[in-house]
Chain A
């Protein structure tokens, strides 16, 4: 049934352009694995190599023990959900779902039973005799999912399946996909550019950029300890400060330094580093302590308040969209207004320190 996937040193080239320069990843049996990255990072390319729609220029891809490079797509026993759903417009919902079963030796009776079952699982039984053009986006999505799962594929491949849905439906469907995937227990490779979607749906995420995996880990770890500045800013927001590190002392400004308490690999004195602080990881300090800041813009978001800040005596990494501090509404006594000043400290346990040259994480990561 479901199998693990092993990608070893695969290379993808289009003419002279190298899209994936040599990528390896192992996906466990039954795992929900997400390829996350900005558009053009090679995530869909990789997915289509696994599916068999893109050629593999070098390296191998195996399902379990079997190398599948030379196996044509239709013999790989995959289930695939496409961004455009790719529902067959000339077939009814039921016929769409049943389609893949006719290429497998499934007895007629079992076929019907399996289709009934999956239609129920994805909750589209009442539309089964309709033509797809009369279905909403969410319903088409369910048909696509049912059609891919009903054949009991070795792996389920999903290419941005939710990007054509509206926000509310997207949240609902990602829950549904997650539930159905766990229920069926099938190895799933999921491609998205939406970090929130990736964080909430995946067992593990690989963050990709320019054909290279930047970081591969469980969602919490990727958020808490991004491997480099790209990941730190692509997933969630990070405020980036230019600071110096001497031993365990991280200095933001002449007047403010914190002790990292052994969390960071020490370098020589006054090593220039970049400190990444998440908006929610600032701590409000009594005036005079920490870093002085001024509110530029206040955004009230219900559960929390978001402040866009301006610091006076620290140097920030240039070209950042904004410097943000968010405060849980439960702990905020008052909502500050633009022009108000405040003092902020950073939490040494949460802060991430990146080497200035390589931009990669210098903190010890608890494994």
Chain B
């Protein structure tokens, strides 16, 4: 009924264009992926043998079990750490909150395998801590490889998602709610349990999903620290890369299994959240109060230790980047050798990163604003389908997306493999959701009557979007765009599949340097990436006037 009467205005054509883009760059590739997972590479006919092989051999199905168990543990731990931390920093005065926030975000936004690599340097077989403990204290540290190592690295990297999500949600709780609870005789602890906790539950679930998906999709970390503990992304990557010759179909089947599983989890989460969600906006947000000395000391201790643990990889990386190297071996003393080497040999990787990143961001901002608008203000069948498809990147692990795009665009009519475009495409698809979500979030806060006011005054809907809506959306869009940007330049798993010699990015270069055991150059590249991340964050805080990062 609504579509029938929908005018063929600006938004009508925008909807069509975006639907077209999605069909070409998301739906068609995914379809190809599923199709090729059922194809026998020799006869070209239909077969279920790839799936039979996966579920038949213990080696393969074990990877799935490993993935699920480590991911579930990471998610639970991240919630248990991130949630209380967000509450403590929101409800009470914590010294150095700005620094804490920045450090947490920096630790979250670096490539996770940096964490793995650093923790190996510290706690590995010949790591600094391990050696110190056994030589001076005679304590044998538990092994950092396998399940526990992945758990440690991913938890420390991913709890910030929960922290930031919950911090944001706590800010939207009006203090009057909490005062109302107190006025009704509720003590502070029960208040948290009966008011605060239920109000942030949908947010925790949303953040939990993000952590789950990230942990499930991550392959850099398990690749380095997992050793014998094989998880799905590692399996997919190695099957695809090792047997590129004729067994891409088996990798496609693995990827398809991943997509189906993540899809189910995602839908389940959405179902739960939809039933529990509600909108809030705080006229007077919660103001931090001062804790008594002892609890305050405990809270500070808890937070500082965690923040320190999560920033250790960065410190390690920056420190090693300045160490003197001889070839690829560290020697005593400090130098800028590593930096000299990367600018000589890997300069292209640096420029590629910025060039592709900025191109991707330009597209992301434009698409993000339009799609956010369409899905919040022009609800119809097509826009809600588009909205659903934008969730796919949450569902599709980066390496799977890489394979998907490669399988779809390495043959006519559209050959993109090996080009910079396919990398930009992967970046846009993977990182659009950040900008999209934060644009949509701010749109929900803008009353539609503001636009209607503009339209009622004679401004056409298209002009109104650019003159009023877009400007009012800008803080949310920028916040999302910076997050997209930071995650774009740190993107690894899809790039690993899609890059060629000429289109290598920094994160790919870091990974290959680590694999080559050229730790100095890897560290120097990582430091540049971290520096870019920090500068971007500072721009973000400057732009938003010190507002928190809106995910």
Contacts and interface: CB of A to CB of B under 8 A. Distances in A.
A104 interface: yes
Interface stretch (A86-94, A170-178, A342-350): A86-94
A99 B1 contact: no
B461 interface: yes
Contact of B453 (A75, A86, A103): A86
Given A53-B452, A55-B2, A84-B447, A74 B468 contact: no
Contacts of A13: 1
Contacts of B449: 82-84, 86
A79 B454 CA distance: 10
A294 B145 CA distance: 88
Given A74-B459, A75-B458, A77-B458, A82 B472 contact: no
A51 interface: yes
Contacts of A147: 453, 457
B450 interface: yes
Contacts of A15: 1
Interface string A224-256: 000000000000000000000000000000000
A144 B456 CA distance: 12
Nearest to A83: B449
A79 B456 CA distance: 6
Contacts of A52: 455-456
B453 A73 contact: no
B469 to A, nearest CB: 10
Interface in B73-90: none
A80 B2 CA distance: 24
Nearest to A97: B457
Interface string A288-322: 00000000000000000000000000000000000
Contacts of B453: 80, 82, 86-88, 144, 147
A57 B2 CA distance: 10
A38 interface: no
* Most chain A C-beta atoms within 10 Å of own C-beta, residue among B1, B453, B454, B459: B453
A21 interface: no
A100 B458 contact: yes
A274 interface: no
Contacts of A151: 457-458
B293 interface: no
Contacts of A99: 454, 457, 459
A241 to B, nearest CB: 43
B457 A100 contact: yes
B449 to A, nearest CB: 4
Contacts of A86: 447, 449-450, 452-453
A80 B447 contact: no
Interface in B406-453: 447, 449-450, 452-453
Nearest to B456: A80
* Most chain A C-beta atoms within 10 Å of own C-beta, residue among B457, B463, B468, B471: B457
A78 interface: yes
A11 to B, nearest CB: 12
Interface in A61-86: 72-80, 82-84, 86
Interface in B179-201: none
A148 interface: yes
A4 to B, nearest CB: 19
Interface in B446-501: 447, 449-450, 452-461, 463-464, 468, 471-472
Contacts of B456: 51-52, 73-74, 76, 78-80, 148, 157
Nearest to A96: B453
Interface in A1-44: 13, 15
Nearest to A56: B5
A13 to B, nearest CB: 7
Contacts of A104: 458
A104 B456 CA distance: 12
A276 B455 CA distance: 46
A86 B456 CA distance: 11
Contacts of B450: 86-89
Nearest to B2: A55
B7 interface: yes
Contact of A88 (B5, B9, B460, B468): B468
B5 to A, nearest CB: 5
B463 to A, nearest CB: 8
Contacts of A57: 1
A120 to B, nearest CB: 20
Contacts of B472: 88-90
B458 A55 contact: no
A227 B523 CA distance: 84
A154 B104 CA distance: 57
A281 to B, nearest CB: 42
Interface in B27-65: none
Contact of B458 (A51, A84, A103, A144): A103
A189 to B, nearest CB: 13
A69 to B, nearest CB: 10
A9 B454 CA distance: 29
16 contacts: A52-B455, A52-B456, A72-B460, A74-B461, A76-B456, A77-B458, A80-B453, A80-B456, A84-B449, A86-B447, A99-B454, A100-B458, A100-B459, A104-B458, A148-B456, A148-B457
Interface of B: 1-2, 5, 7, 9, 447, 449-450, 452-461, 463-464, 468, 471-472
4 shortest A-B CB distances, which residue pairs?
A100-B457, A103-B458, A86-B453, A80-B456
Given A86-B447, A86-B453, 15 more contacts: A51-B452, A72-B461, A73-B455, A74-B455, A74-B458, A74-B461, A80-B453, A82-B447, A82-B453, A83-B449, A86-B449, A87-B453, A88-B450, A103-B459, A103-B463
